[in-house]
Structures are given as C-alpha cells and as structure tokens.
C-alpha cells in the first residue's frame, strides 16, 4: 500500500515537472515576442540615464536586432484618481503587424517599466530608458544597431519577469517612426 502510494506520488510529480517544463517552452505563436539573446555587456555604453521624454514618447516605435523586428505603440495616459502618468504599451509582430502583447508601464528612476501580457498569457518585462549620444564620445564600444542619427537614444530592454537586474535582458535601440498609433503605419513600414 505504502509502495503504491509512493509510486503514485512520484508519477504525479514527474507529470507536474513535465507540464511545468512545457509551460516555459515558446509556442510558434509567441516566438516573435523577443529576440533570442544579447551578447553585449551591460550596462553598455551609456552610463547616465536621462529624464524620461514624456512629451515626445507617444507614437509608433520600431526595434530591429538581427532577424528580430517588432513595433511598439506607446500612449501616455494619466490615472484619474492620482494624476500619475502611465504608458500604455502595445507590441506588434514585425512581419504581420498583429498585436502580440499589451501592458502598462510606470516611471521609476527615469525608466519606464511595463509588465507585458501576450495574447496566449505569457508575461514579461519591458523597460524603456533614454540616453544621450554624448556619453559615447570617449568610448570605443560600438553603438546599438539603428540608422537614426540623434542626440538622444531610446533603449528598449526585454526579459523575463523574474530577472532581478538588467543582465538577463535583451537591449535594443528603439526608433520612433510615427507620431500616429495606428496599425496602418506599421503595415506601410513593412512594405518598404
């Protein structure tokens, strides 16, 4: 009796472990949420986070790194009860412009942190930070990939919710492509 109870418990634990492992596997539907990895050291090359650019953040933004392309619609909203600014974040697939995930971000220490939830329920963290190109003048480190010459650089970092620091996150330059928040702009950009 005790032996069969122990056997049943072990089989149950093995099934739970297998289902837990499957929970963290990426489905085909969600494989475009974030790039596979990032081999740059952190904090790379910008040391001083600039004040968050609330007045210019709203619009459609694009990130590209290797084979990964994604669009982010960013909209500034205020809580009615407190007046605190928040950033509504919507992520679009870089190939189809389908909505991949949505979330809301709040500012902490000049960075906006958002918890994103995908259409299939996966959760992850997005961080937006502003840096100055002037921080790069004395460094020999290559900048993040991006074709827009600007004095200010926006960096989008993505990673699992359980990451305590930025070391486990993927970091990409994010570039504003439109002040409009429509999927139409995304679709037009894909055709280019």
* Residue 80 placed within a domain: yes
The pTM of the whole model exceeds 0.75: no
* Gap between the Cα atoms of 177 and 74, Å rounded: 12
Total domains present in the chain: 1
Contact at 8 Å (CB) between 156 and 72? yes
Residue 134, in any domain of the structure: yes
Q: Which domain holds residue 122?
A: 30-191
The answer to whether residue 2 sits within a structural domain is no
pLDDT at position 162, please? 78
Q: For residue 15, is it within any domain?
A: no
Mean pLDDT value of segment 66-90: 92
| Average pLDDT across the chain, whole number | 75
Determine, yes or no, domain membership for 152: yes
Query: 125: pLDDT confidence band, cut at 50, 70 and 90?
Result: very high
- Residue of 106, 121, 110, 125 lying closest to 163 (CA atoms): 125
In a domain, 138, yes or no: yes
Tokens of 158: 């993505």
User: Using one digit for the tens of pLDDT, what is the confidence trace for 153-162?
Assistant: 888 999 888 7
- Does residue 19 fall inside a structural domain? no
pLDDT at 105 (0 to 100): 96
pLDDT at residue 75 greater than cutoff 50: yes
* pLDDT tens for each residue of 1-25: 545 544 444 444 444 333 333 333 4
Query: Is pLDDT at 56 greater than 80 in this prediction?
Result: yes
Q: Is residue 1 part of a domain?
A: no
- The pLDDT of residue 180 is 85
- Give the confidence band of 189 by pLDDT, cuts at 50, 70, 90: confident
Pair 91, 72: CB distance under 8 Å: yes
Between CA 145 and CA 65 the distance in angstroms is 7
Inform me whether the pLDDT recorded for 78 exceeds 60.
yes
């Amino acid at each position: 009796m005790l032996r069969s109870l122990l056997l049943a418990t072990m089989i149950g634990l093995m099934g739970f472990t297998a289902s837990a492992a499957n929970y963290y596997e990426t489905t085909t539907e969600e494989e475009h949420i974030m790039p596979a990895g990032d081999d740059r050291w952190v904090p790379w090359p910008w040391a001083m986070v600039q004040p968050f650019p609330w007045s210019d953040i709203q619009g459609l933004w694009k990130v590209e790194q290797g084979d990964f392309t994604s669009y982010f619609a960013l909209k500034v909203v205020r809580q009615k009860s407190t007046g605190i600014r928040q950033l509504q974040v919507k992520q679009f697939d870089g190939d189809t412009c389908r909505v991949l995930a949505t979330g809301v971000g709040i500012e902490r220490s000049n960075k906006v942190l958002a918890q994103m939830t995908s259409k299939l329920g996966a959760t992850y963290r997005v961080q937006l930070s502003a840096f100055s190109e002037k921080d790069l003048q004395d460094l020999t480190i290559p900048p993040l990939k991006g074709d827009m010459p600007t004095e200010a650089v926006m960096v989008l970092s993505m990673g699992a919710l359980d990451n305590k620091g930025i070391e486990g996150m993927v970091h990409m330059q994010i570039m504003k492509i439109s002040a409009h928040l429509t999927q139409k702009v995304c679709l037009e950009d894909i055709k280019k």
